[in-house]
Amino acid sequence: MTDAEVTTTARSARHRDTPIPARLTLAAALLGFFMICLDATAVNVALPAIGHSLHGATDGLQWVVDGYTVPFAALLISAGSVSDRAGARRVFSWGLALFTAASAGCGFAPALWVLIGSRLVQGCAAAVTLPASLSLVRQAFGEPAARARAVAVWNTGGAAAIAAGPVLGGVLTSLAGWRVIFFINVPVGALTLVLAARAPRSFRLSAPLDLPGQAAAIATLAALAYGVISGGANGFTSPLALATLGVAALAATAFIVVESRVRQPMVPLMLLRSPGVAAYLLTGFSINVAFYGIAFVLSLYFQRVLGEPPIVAGLLFLPMTGLLTVASLASARVAARWGHHRPLRLGLITSTLGMILLIFLRGRISLEFALIPAGAGLGFALPSLTFLLLDALPAGQAGLAGGLFNAARQTGGALAVALFGALISASFAAGMRQALLISLALLAVSTATVLALSRPSRPRNL
């Protein structure tokens, strides 16, 4: 038998060895993650059409986006903890059913305030669904190599949604109207619920809910998200921004005090003191600052400076978003042969080099060239980063791991958009350069931290 035949036979054997319930679980988690990421990006290009249809002012239209972002960011850590205790399958199904119903509410909204209210519910449901979806994958695939491939596929769902969001949103709005962006979630959500019902019963952590810690975490993340959004719109020295960020600081202090004193904390502080976990959370934060910062700043650059229409501006991101998806799948193959630290390090180095090119290159062709290593590097790093964070914790805390990781990432994205928006409002050219420098600095620090990190052991005494 030739080497090629041996490889093909091994792949077929691995495919046959994967139980059907595990495949269905992965399909459900993938579709759920795709829907959540798609609704975070596709709506932006539909805002002018929504404003015209529902007679909404600019400040009201901002809350069509922020009404999703704020509860999404605020509830992620708490939702991950609830997922561990109530069972990932149950929490995923509850969250997805609510998300699907809220999507229908968005599509049928007769007025702007109804749309904003439905978006708030969507954001809460997305926060519940996201960490549970990752927990489902972690629990369905016990063997490390199979779990690595499953995590890479799960990451690809989010990357594909981010890539498709702006383009799909523009196409659907142009051809069928903005309401179709939300209505499309209804049949997809129903299919995902059917698949989730076939998933194995999830492990449940037998520990009481840390209600004071839950309240402090929600208050911290909600105040931080709202304060950053307010600061980006009105300036970070405005009274509202300062007051809200002050509340976030006080709530964060209360969270640390509570978690250090309760017997069974929601987030064991020992976990955050683990060098590996801290490095992975910082890296997730930095990756989203870079990705959403690039998308936000260059989207405005393509339209305002180069004069491209919205659909063309979305298509110009395909060198980055398309490679993000391809590299995410390729990462699992490399990790299977050389381990997960190598693709994480290689991906971070590549994306950092791409960011350097973005700082020094100008013009559409040059920027398209620089977006290739930026997108490929981020896509190559993310699956291994997700796997390593999950592997640093016991399977029973997969929901908490997913909540922490995605809270760090969502907070990074929200901070990037608000801060970079404030920077480019004074001077676009100077602000764009400053935004790219900040993204580069965070990626460089994360890369150096990961390179210096030896193979971390699982945190003890959790």
Per-residue confidence of the chain (462 residues) as pLDDT tens digits?
444 443 444 444 444 455 677 888 889 999 998 998 888 778 877 777 888 888 776 556 767 877 887 788 778 777 877 877 788 888 999 999 999 999 999 999 999 889 999 999 999 999 889 888 888 887 888 777 788 788 878 877 777 787 677 778 877 887 888 899 999 999 999 999 999 888 777 666 666 667 788 788 888 888 887 887 777 777 778 888 899 999 999 998 998 898 888 777 777 777 777 777 888 889 999 988 888 778 778 877 877 788 777 667 767 777 777 777 788 778 878 887 888 888 999 999 999 998 998 888 766 777 888 888 888 898 889 888 888 887 777 666 666 777 778 778 877 877 787 788 778 877 888 888 888 999 999 999 999 998 887 554 444 444
Final residue before a domain boundary, out of 201, 232, 256: 201
- Asked whether residue 196 falls in the same domain as residue 214, the answer is no
Residue 439: CATH number of its domain = 1.20.1250.20
- Asked whether residue 93 falls in the same domain as residue 224, the answer is no
- Asked whether residue 416 falls in the same domain as residue 304, the answer is yes
Query: Per the domain annotation, does 11 fall within a domain?
Result: no
Q: Which amino acid is at 401?
A: A
Query: Per the domain annotation, does 4 fall within a domain?
Result: no
- Asked whether residue 197 falls in the same domain as residue 317, the answer is no
Final residue before a domain boundary, out of 177, 201, 225: 201
- Asked whether residue 278 falls in the same domain as residue 357, the answer is yes
pLDDT tens digit sequence for 158-202: 777 876 777 788 778 878 888 999 999 999 999 999 998 887 776
Query: Per the domain annotation, does 2 fall within a domain?
Result: no
Query: Per the domain annotation, does 1 fall within a domain?
Result: no
How many separate domains does the chain show?
Answer: 3
- Asked whether residue 154 falls in the same domain as residue 93, the answer is yes
- Asked whether residue 403 falls in the same domain as residue 314, the answer is yes
Query: Per the domain annotation, does 460 fall within a domain?
Result: no
- Asked whether residue 371 falls in the same domain as residue 229, the answer is no
Final residue before a domain boundary, out of 246, 265, 284: 265
- Asked whether residue 158 falls in the same domain as residue 235, the answer is no
- Asked whether residue 254 falls in the same domain as residue 314, the answer is no
Domain that holds residue 37: 21-201
- Asked whether residue 301 falls in the same domain as residue 446, the answer is yes
Query: Per the domain annotation, does 67 fall within a domain?
Result: yes
- Asked whether residue 291 falls in the same domain as residue 255, the answer is no
